[in-house]
Structure 1
Amino acid sequence: MSYVGETLSNLLHQTAFFNLSVGNYVMIVVACVFLFLAIKKGFEPLLLVPIAFGMLLVNIYPDIIVSPEHSSNGVGGLLYYFYTLDEWSILPSLIFLGVGAMTDFGPLIANPISFLLGAAAQFGIFGAYFLAILLGFNDKAAAAVSIIQPPIMKLFTTKKERAIKMQNLRPVSKLERILFPVVVTIVVCTLLPTTAPLVGMLMLGNLFRESGVVRQLQETASNALMYIVVILLGTSVGASTSAESFLNMSTIKIVILGLIAFMVGTAAGVLFGKLLCFLTKGKINPLIGSAGVSAVPMAARVSQKVGAEEDPTNFLLMHAMGPNVAGVIGTAVAAGCFMAIFGI
């Protein structure tokens, strides 16, 4: 009987109930809330479901992301290898490949001024960087930190500005569409070689789309490969939120700074949009500047939504896609700048 009791006791103590902290249970509850929001409310389920489930797994079984150096058998946990692919920039580069294959760069080519709006929105990244320095992060940590909207958009615009209707974009030729990713790659990657992994993959994906001769590659990059990478990246990001690493002041600062970067980027884009609105005598709706924060295509849809609230017949989506795409390029360039400065 003592043997049976001892066996049952050992088995019971192997369960997670005896090995988890209060923080782990808090993060498990947060993960369940995220799953509810994603599944029931439809809040970005493609991203939120894998992230939330990765969060759930790592807080039930922390060793799922343990490194080989800290494991008992010299083999890392499953999500450790997923996260390593993220740290090596493999998964982000493949995400950019898929985004390029999915995205129509036509609105950006048709309205080159969108580049300026996308650049303006990057003020959020650099603003968060300097704020992070003030909060005590070292230079490299501050750069990593710096990688809501409607209230901010309405705060900096008038009802009249939000109702501005923009002219239809000019047609973009096939030659322009093919040359654009090639020229951008040559120019940007020559000036900032460290941007090649992100900008190069983004433009390669777009070249798949626009060339018309590699339809199978375009379909693979924008569908099967993209979804596989989202699973790997989402679960690994979720797995980085264990209670031990997430519930501390440094992480809270990072989250707050991320929100500040997003808010400042939105405000900067809208304010620059107001300037262009003034210079063009009311031909540009300032709302499209908010799309420069690079969240494709969500930020462009938010610009459309806020504009439609003032005038249901106002269609800003395609106009907002220009700054949206420019913001993606701008974010990659900003990351390249930090990598070049700090020798990463």
Structure 2
Amino acid sequence: MEAVSWISTTALLTKMEHLWELTAIPDVTWQMVVMWAVVAVLMYLAVARQFEPLLLIPIAFGALLANLPTEGVLNAPVGEHAGGLYWYISKGIEWEIFPPLIFLGVGALTDFGPLIANPRTLLLGAAAQVGVFVTFLGAIFLGFSPQEAASIGIIGGADGPTSIFLTNKLAPHLLGPIAVAAYSYMALVPLIQPPIMRALTTPEERRIRMKSLRQVTRLEKLVFAFLVTIVVILLVPAASALIGMLMLGNFLRESLVTERLTKASQNEIINVVTIFLGTSVGITMTGERFLTPETLKILALGVVAFGFSTAGGVLMAKAMNLVVKEKINPLIGSAGVSAVPMAARVSHVEGQKADPNNYLLMHAMGPNVAGVIGTAVVAGYFLAWFS
């Protein structure tokens, strides 16, 4: 009986060992566990604090999948066996499909009227790109290659799809941390920008009231989309995909004869692509890639980028006030980063703190949408220089 009992115990242990081997638990590494904590933080910021939830949640969930010993998700095709789900979906980033489609939706959602009504605000959007170049130089100083530095610097433009588009071309191994930094800091614009805006302006400047913008005709908006497409692509061919889709979306919107296409661009297309884009970025955030000193440097440089971009727009507005009759409230200069429309709202809120009856939102939308174009142009120049 003792022998039978011992044999039964041994068989049971063998079966349990076999069951253990069938699970993925033995494949869990310490890097995966740490990344679970990182994912939890991103989920908290997205759900509890509502920091860019539309993208942080897909990114975080993609990162969770990347740090689990999955099957049928990431594996490449071998022979007759098909690849995993995200081996195919991630081609939308690798083949540069998702970011331009996001720009199609952004264009369909954007009103360029405030920029057309007050063209000088284009200079504010351009000045806000200073953070991109300052951060580029800072990244070079910290030992990053020119391609990596350009990808990190574009964080200062506060444009997530452009950051992903450029990074995939120049430094795909940094896609995860750069995307997380870009979207996290975009969500933190209401916290990062106001102290800088107040430090660089006087109470009198913050109380400057600007004249109401004129009504922009539909023809003007259509001609604007047409001309911007031609001029920007002729000057910066590398930005063609982004600018072309941005202005296609805007032309659909302003034509008023393609309501179904406009609504699809504003809703179904951009929503579906956002899910795939976010999770595809998250899939790149494996512990081995993300838990490196370079990630901490990128996160630090991201703050520098936003700070200098904010300061550049504000200081340009102050400089313009030295030579123009109709004064510009310098607060709208901070909206030159292309976090649409959040940065414009921040300018408006800060202006109302100084004067509750001052309405800056529409004025701030001018440099805000100019920043979208400006960041795409800078990304195009970086591509031309470093590809």
Q: Matched residue of 2:50: which SS?
A: coil
Mapped partners of 1:279, 1:127: distance in 2: 26
Alignment-derived partner of residue 143 in structure 2 = 136
Q: How do residues 230-249 of structure 1 correspond to structure 2 at under 5 angstroms?
A: 230-249=274-293
Q: Aligned letter for 1:107? A: P
Q: Aligned letter for 1:284? A: I
* Selected match of 1:49 from 52, 57, 61: 57
Q: Aligned letter for 2:263? A: E
The question of whether the paired residues in 2 share the 8 Å contact of 1:58 and 1:64 is answered with no
Mapped partners of 2:98, 2:343: distance in 1: 22
Are 1:58 and 2:66 an aligned pair? Answer: yes
Q: Aligned letter for 2:351? A: G
Deviates more, 1:36-45 or 1:166-175: 36-45
User: Structure 1 residues 259, 81: CA separation in 2 closer, same or farther (over 3 Å shift)?
Assistant: farther
The question of whether the paired residues in 1 share the 8 Å contact of 2:27 and 2:69 is answered with no
The question of whether the paired residues in 2 share the 8 Å contact of 1:129 and 1:142 is answered with yes
Q: Matched residue of 1:294: which SS?
A: coil
Q: Deviations over 1:119-150 (max 9, x none)?
A: 00111111111221122222212111112111
Alignment-derived partner of residue 21 in structure 1 = 29
Deviation at 1:75, TM superposition (A): 4.7
Mapped partners of 2:347, 2:72: distance in 1: 40
Mapped partners of 2:19, 2:302: distance in 1: 43
Mapped partners of 2:130, 2:97: distance in 1: 26
The TM-score with structure 1 as length reference comes to 0.92
Are 1:39 and 2:83 an aligned pair? Answer: no
Are 1:113 and 2:127 an aligned pair? Answer: no
Mapped partners of 2:70, 2:328: distance in 1: 51
Q: Which has the larger radius of gyration?
A: 2
* Selected match of 1:88 from 82, 90, 95: 95
Structure 1: gaps (5+ residues): none
Alignment-derived partner of residue 315 in structure 1 = 359
Mapped partners of 1:338, 1:174: distance in 2: 34
Deviates more, 1:212-221 or 1:281-290: 281-290
Alignment-derived partner of residue 278 in structure 1 = 322
Q: Matched residue of 2:327: which SS?
A: coil
Paired-residue identity, % = 52
The TM-score with structure 2 as length reference comes to 0.83
Mapped partners of 2:369, 2:203: distance in 1: 26
Q: How do residues 1-344 of structure 1 correspond to structure 2 at under 5 angstroms?
A: 1=8, 2=10, 4-61=12-69, 66=74, 68=76, 75-147=82-154, 148-280=192-324, 283-342=327-386, 344=387
Deviation at 1:80, TM superposition (A): 3.5
Mapped partners of 1:282, 1:195: distance in 2: 34
| RMSD between superposed Cα atoms in Å | 2.1
Q: Aligned letter for 2:335? A: A
The question of whether the paired residues in 2 share the 8 Å contact of 1:156 and 1:267 is answered with yes
The question of whether the paired residues in 2 share the 8 Å contact of 1:62 and 1:242 is answered with no
Mapped partners of 2:70, 2:314: distance in 1: 42
User: Structure 1 residues 200, 7: CA separation in 2 closer, same or farther (over 3 Å shift)?
Assistant: farther
Mapped partners of 2:374, 2:39: distance in 1: 32
Deviation at 1:3, TM superposition (A): 5.0
Mapped partners of 1:10, 1:242: distance in 2: 28
Mapped partners of 2:81, 2:130: distance in 1: 44
The question of whether the paired residues in 2 share the 8 Å contact of 1:57 and 1:64 is answered with no
The question of whether the paired residues in 1 share the 8 Å contact of 2:337 and 2:371 is answered with yes
Mapped partners of 1:40, 1:243: distance in 2: 24
Mapped partners of 2:70, 2:334: distance in 1: 39
Q: Deviations over 1:74-124 (max 9, x none)?
A: 654433433331132211100111000001110011010111001001111
The question of whether the paired residues in 2 share the 8 Å contact of 1:129 and 1:143 is answered with yes
